[in-house]
C-alpha cells in the first residue's frame, strides 16, 4: 500500500545512500591508484564505469524520494554493506614471500630458458639446458631409429638399394639443415616488443619496473643471446631451503594476470658469494652477471653489488606487453 503525500521515502533514501557511498569509495580507490594492489591496470576503465553507474543509479532512484511507503523494506540494501565495508576498511595488500609460500603453482618462474624454467620450493625443476641440446638429441634419435643399412650410402653401385640409401641420407640432411635454419631465424628475429634498458655496447640490461615481465619473457626464451651480460634488477629477497642448495636467495617480483588471487612469482636466482646483509622480503637492487648455475640447469645472477631499494609504488608486474 502506497501513501502519497509529503515526506521522505526511507527505503529509497537508504538505497541511494548505499549506491552513492559505494560509487564514491570505488572512484577513490581507482583514482588513487590503490586498485593496482588488487587488480591489473586493464580494469581501470571498468572501475570508473562502475563508479559512474552507481551515480546514475542514485539519480534514477532518487526520483522516488518524496514518494513515501507505508512500510520500508531495508533488507534489500544489505547487499551493499559488505562491499562498502571492504572498500572503507581495506585489508592489507598481499605481497612478499608469504604469497610465494601460499602459491599452489609449480614454483618460481625463473629467467632460465626453455620458455621459462621453473625452480620450485618443493624441488621440482625443469632444465633449460635441454633447449641447447635439442638439435643434437634430434639427430641422435634419428640415427638410433634408422637402420644402419639405410644410413650408409652405397654410392656408385648402380643398384636400386644404393639409390634409395642416398635419397634417405639426403632427405635426412635437408631436414636437419632446415630445422637449424628455422631455429637460427627465430633467434635472429626481432621481437615485437620493446627491449628497453638494453645496452649492447656495454652488454648491460637495466630492467625497469614496467619492463620486468618483458625481460623475463625475453631472457627465458633467448637466454643464450644474453649469457655474460650484466643485469640490473629490483626485487625482494626470497629464501627457501631448496633454493639455498643452488644459490643464496631468489630475487623475486610478483606477476598478476587478472587479480591478486592469481599472483605468481618470477625472477632470478642470485649468488652473492659472501655475507648477505639483508633479510627476507627486503627490497634490493641486484647488479650481476647472467650465467648458468653450477648444475647447468638454471640461469642466475652472479652478484657484483646488492643495494637496498625502496619498495616500488606499483609492486606487481603485469604479464602483457
Q: Are 207 and 197 in contact (CB under 8 A)?
A: yes
Counting as low any pLDDT under 50, the low residues of the chain are: 1-3, 5, 105-107, 112-132, 134-136, 138-139, 142, 148-168, 176, 321
Q: Given this model, what pLDDT does residue 168 score?
A: 45
Helices (H), 1-114: 10-32, 44-61, 81-88, 97-101
Phi and psi at 270, nearest 5°, equal: -130, 130
Q: Are 96 and 316 in contact (CB under 8 A)?
A: no
- As given in the structure block, the three cell numbers for residue 220 are 627465458
Q: DSSP code of 92?
A: P
- As given in the structure block, the three cell numbers for residue 203 are 652488454
Which string of DSSP letters, residue by residue, matches 139-201?
HHHHHHHS-HHHHS--TT---HHHHHHHHHHHHHHHHHHHHHHHHHHHHHSPPSS--TTEETT
- pLDDT per residue over 212-248, tens digit each? 989 988 888 888 889 899 999 999 999 888 888 888 8
Q: Given this model, what pLDDT does residue 50 score?
A: 95
Return the bridge partners of 269, or none: 250, 300
From the list 242, 175, 208, the residue with the least C-alpha distance to 314 is 208
Q: Are 70 and 8 in contact (CB under 8 A)?
A: no
- C-alpha 246/C-alpha 293 separation (Å) is 7
Q: Given this model, what pLDDT does residue 122 score?
A: 35
Amino acid at each position: 500500500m502506497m501513501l502519497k503525500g509529503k515526506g521522505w521515502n526511507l527505503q529509497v533514501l537508504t538505497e541511494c545512500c548505499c549506491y552513492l557511498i559505494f560509487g564514491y569509495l570505488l572512484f577513490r580507490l581507482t583514482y588513487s591508484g590503490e586498485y593496482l594492489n588488487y587488480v591489473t591496470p586493464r580494469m581501470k576503465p571498468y572501475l570508473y564505469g562502475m563508479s559512474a553507474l552507481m551515480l546514475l543509479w542514485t539519480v534514477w532512484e532518487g526520483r522516488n524520494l518524496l514518494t513515501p511507503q507505508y512500510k520500508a523494506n531495508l533488507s534489500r540494501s544489505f547487499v551493499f554493506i559488505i562491499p562498502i565495508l571492504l572498500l572503507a576498511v581495506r585489508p592489507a595488500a598481499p605481497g612478499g614471500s608469504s604469497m610465494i609460500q601460499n602459491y599452489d603453482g609449480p614454483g618460481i618462474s625463473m629467467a632460465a630458458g626453455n620458455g621459462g624454467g621453473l625452480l620450485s620450493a618443493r624441488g621440482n625443476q625443469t632444465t633449460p639446458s635441454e633447449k641447447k641440446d635439442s638439435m643434437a638429441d634430434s639427430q641422435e634419435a634419428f640415427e638410433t631409429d634408422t637402420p644402419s643399412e639405410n644410413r650408409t650410402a652405397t654410392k656408385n653401385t648402380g643398384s636400386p638399394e644404393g639409390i634409395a640409401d642416398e635419397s634417405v641420407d639426403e632427405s635426412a640432411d635437408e631436414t636437419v639443415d632446415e630445422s637449424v635454419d628455422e631455429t637460427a631465424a627465430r633467434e635472429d628475429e626481432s621481437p615485437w616488443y620493446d627491449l628497453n634498458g638494453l645496452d649492447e655496447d656495454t652488454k648491460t640490461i637495466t630492467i625497469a619496473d614496467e619492463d620486468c615481465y618483458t625481460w623475463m619473457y625475453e631472457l627465458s626464451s633467448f637466454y643464450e643471446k644474453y649469457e655474460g651480460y650484466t643485469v640490473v634488477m629490483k626485487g625482494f629477497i626470497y629464501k627457501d631451503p631448496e633454493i639455498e642448495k643452488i644459490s643464496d636467495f631468489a630475487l623475486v617480483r610478483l606477476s598478476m594476470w587478472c587479480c591478486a588471487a592469481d599472483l605468481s612469482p618470477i625472477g632470478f636466482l642470485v649468488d652473492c658469494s659472501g655475507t648477505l646483509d639483508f633479510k627476507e622480503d627486503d627490497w634490493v637492487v641486484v647488479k650481476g652477471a647472467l650465467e648458468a648455475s653450477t648444475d647447468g640447469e638454471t640461469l642466475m645472477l652472479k652478484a657484483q653489488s646488492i643495494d637496498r631499494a625502496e619498495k616500488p609504488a606499483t609492486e606487481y608486474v603485469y604479464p602483457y606487453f
